[in-house]
Structure 1
Amino acid sequence: MKIFPAVDILGGRCVQLVQGKRESAISYGDPLACAMRWLDEGAEALHVVNLDGAFGSSGKNADLITGLIRKTGVEIELGGGIRSVDDAARWLETGVFRVIISTLATQEPACIRELADRFGSARVMAGVDAKGGLIAVNGWQETAGDYLAWAKKFEELGAGSLLYTNVDVEGLQQGVRFEPVKRLIDHVGIPVVVAGGVSARSDVAGLRNAGAFGAVLGSALYSGKIKLKDAMEECR
């Protein structure tokens, strides 16, 4: 299983939010410095989110993120504010290993097939952000149907992997809810990376045992509740 430290960017700063709420942002400084810290501690991949993009300013932070991609040179999955096939293509051509397509995937599902045909399935990750068992879209402000049904559809359209985020526990540092994770992993045949609630070594162990491909470490990593070294040791 692979560990993805999160580098979430808002207003040019690396931040962590609680439940996706902008007003809850805690700043941790320069995004590149944060990224290099996790790489220096042994991370081999990063989970980068353009939160300004998610909140509607898709062009914001573009230069900063492009610089981060080029300076780190590691596997990066990127989401936030990808509102068109052209947006996704630009990031893939910039050097992002895979893009995360969330709201766009529910609004224009065919975009997944188009991107997979053009760049390969491995570089297309569909976001399955779930709130109470329903897929959450538009900054998690709306829901659009059963998360399992959407996950299966994304797989059938050619997504090479899924990012599952349990919105109900995201940012709370209170642990993973394993039942919906296991249900999703059993429902599809493609890799699933899990975000939301990963706060202890036991959470990482539970995800590994459930068959998750990867885990995103966010708030608990930045607060010091979980150590990157411990999470990576648990993966081995």
Structure 2
Amino acid sequence: MIIMPAVDIKNGKCVQLVQGKPGTEQIVLDNPAEVALEWEEKGASVLHVIDLGGALEEGGNISVVEEILKKVSVPVQMGGGIRSMDDATCLLDMGVDRIILGTLAIENPETVEVLSGEFGSERIMVALDSKDSQVVVRGWTEKTAQTAPQLGKIMEEKGASGILFTNVDHEGLLGGFKVEPLLELLEAVDIPVVYSGGVSTLEDLAVLSQTGAYGVVIGSALYKGTLNLEDALNYEKK
């Protein structure tokens, strides 16, 4: 199970929000590229970068993403605010190893097929963010009528190489998570699933390691010190 530290960017800074809500910043660090490098130096094999400003349609942070790509040598997967084919192509050409499509893929699944065909499916991931059992879009501000398992099957058919499943109900709360929604998604698809939301203890990682999840994104717990990366990385070796 791959451990992926989160580097979330808003207004040019590295932040951690509660349930993705603007104004709930609990962590604000000035230099996201330095933060990313620190996670790499501590042993991270993949970095999970999200442009929160882009996701919330407040304006992007692409120059910050460029700085991160120049600074680190490990693969970077990146999402947030990818609203068009041009946005996606720009990031892939820039050197992002894998883009994470959310709203764009859900509202127009054909984009997954086109981008997978052009750049390779291994570079295309789809984010399915679930709140009250329904997938939400546009920075978690709008609900759809579909569940993660329903959309997961569609994205797999369109050529996505993996799914990022975020349980918004637990995101940023450091209170653990319910494993059942993840298990339902894993049952529905054959492609790798990366989990995010509420992971805050080694016990949480122990539970996840038994599910078959390919990886886990950890944000607030690393920044607040309830988990340290070195301990978490032990689950990569099991």
Letter in 2 for 1:115: L
Q: How does 1:4-83 map to 2 (within 5 A)?
A: 4-25=4-25, 26-58=27-59, 60-83=60-83
What is the rounded CA distance, in whole Å, between the counterparts of 1:73 and 1:84 in structure 2?
Answer: 27
Q: How does 1:108-147 map to 2 (within 5 A)?
A: 108-144=108-144, 145-147=146-148
Could you tell me which residue of structure 2 aligns to residue 162 of structure 1? 163
What is the rounded CA distance, in whole Å, between the counterparts of 2:29 and 2:176 in structure 1?
Answer: 22
Q: Is the 8 A contact 1:98 1:122 kept in 2?
A: yes
How many percent of aligned residue pairs carry the same amino acid? 44
Deviation at 1:57, TM superposition (A): 3.8
Structure 1 residue runs of 4 or more that deviate by more than 6 Å after TM superposition: none
What is the rounded CA distance, in whole Å, between the counterparts of 2:120 and 2:166 in structure 1?
Answer: 23
SS of 1:174 mapped into structure 2:
coil
Deviation at 1:187, TM superposition (A): 1.1
Unaligned runs of 5+ in 2: none
Deviation at 1:193, TM superposition (A): 0.5
SS of 1:18 mapped into structure 2:
coil
Letter in 1 for 2:149: L
Could you tell me which residue of structure 1 aligns to residue 181 of structure 2? 180
SS of 1:21 mapped into structure 2:
coil
98-107 or 200-209, which deviates more: 200-209
Deviation at 1:172, TM superposition (A): 0.3
What is the rounded CA distance, in whole Å, between the counterparts of 2:206 and 2:92 in structure 1?
Answer: 31
What is the rounded CA distance, in whole Å, between the counterparts of 2:64 and 2:139 in structure 1?
Answer: 22
Q: Is the 8 A contact 2:37 2:71 kept in 1?
A: no
What is the rounded CA distance, in whole Å, between the counterparts of 1:209 and 1:178 in structure 2?
Answer: 10
140-149 or 123-132, which deviates more: 140-149
Could you tell me which residue of structure 2 aligns to residue 224 of structure 1? 225
What is the rounded CA distance, in whole Å, between the counterparts of 2:44 and 2:155 in structure 1?
Answer: 28
Letter in 2 for 1:99: I
Q: Which has the higher strand share?
A: 1
CA deviations 1:136-192 (Å, max 9, x no partner) are 111111111222101110111110000000000000001121111111111100000
